[in-house]
Amino acid sequence: MTRTTARSARSTIALAALLAGAATLDAQQPNLDFTVSGTSTIRGWTCTVKGTMTVTPGPGGGVAMPGFASGVKSATVRVPVKAFTCPNAEMTEHLMQAMKPDQFPEIVYQIEKYELAGDRAQASGTMTIQGRSQPVTLPVVIKASGNGVALEGSTRLDMTAYGVEPPVVMLGMLKVGPQIRIEFKGLVTP
């Protein structure tokens, strides 16, 4: 993992604290809330899921900090597809049909590098959905919060770029739009 620009020492420390803190978490313990929103020919929709962020420590150009001197090798966000919940059972079922969780149980975002500006980071990495990978760059707001680090970010994706067919139900009367918005929010405690 490489850090391409360091404009703010404070944010650098915050991001490093975030990554370092996540590394100490139990890998199975969800620490991020994900919200996925989209449109349809009827109304907008939102589904939610809890995911995890894990960090592999080690040399790789990451930021040194007390207790984490060797830097960060990689950071990975994982979202369990089967855990998605939508406002009603029908919607959840439609989502599951589109996402095929038995074949593709996770959505994975592998962060490969980041840039810093104030309390904002621009994370770049690879998003993998249904076995297809695409480069994704997204802004992340990082703030110290109590003993941990709060992070918040969002991005927009086109489902079809990952081979996901937007649900079409009721003989085509209801069509889900291909563009979705992903928001995530979490608190990582070192």
Partner 1 sequence: MPTPTARTTAAVTRESRRRFFRFLAASPLLALAYPALAADWRQAIDREDGHLATHHGLPARTLCPECGQVMTYQQQAGGTALPGANALDDQFGGQLIESVDEAVNVWDFERVANANNLPVHWAYLHMGVDDLETRVANREGFMRLQLRPRRLGANVAKLDTSVSLFGRRWDTPLFLCPVAALEAYHTEGESGAARAARARGILQIQSHQSSQSYEQIAEARGEPHWFQLYANADWGITERTIKKVAGLGCPVMVWTIDLLGGSNRELNRRALGREGYTGALCQNCHNHRPDYRRPMHRGVDGPAGPRHPFDWDYVKRLKDATPMKVVLKGIVTREEAELAVEHGADGLYVSNHGGRAENSLRSTIDCLPEVVAGVRGRVPVFIDSGVRRGADIFKALALGADAVGIGRPYVWGLGAFGQPGVDKVIEILLDEFRLVMRQTRTTAIDQIGSQFVMEGKVPIMTRQNRLGFGL
User: Site for partner 1 (CB under 8 A): which residue of 2, 117, 126, 160?
Assistant: 117
User: Site for partner 1 (CB under 8 A): which residue of 26, 66, 135, 173?
Assistant: 173
User: Site for partner 1 (CB under 8 A): which residue of 9, 27, 42, 64?
Assistant: 42
* Three-class DSSP labels, 134-184: EEEEEEEEEEEECCEEEEEEEEEEEHHHHCCCCCEECCCCEEEEEEEEEEE
Cβ-based nearer residue to partner 1, 74 or 155: 155
CB of 68 to partner 1, least distance (A): 27
CB of 146 to partner 1, least distance (A): 19
User: Site for partner 1 (CB under 8 A): which residue of 74, 175, 185, 189?
Assistant: 175
* Three-class DSSP labels, 88-103: CHHHHHHHHHHHCCCC
Query: What distance in Å separates the CA atoms of residue 106 and residue 186, rounded to the nearest whole number?
Result: 19
Q: What angle do CA 134, 135, 137 make, to 5 degrees?
A: 135
CB of 97 to partner 1, least distance (A): 15
- Give the total of residues touching partner 1 (CB under 8 A): 27
Interface ranges with partner 1 (CB under 8 A):
37, 39-46, 86-88, 90-91, 117, 120, 122, 139, 156, 170, 173-175, 177, 179, 181, 183
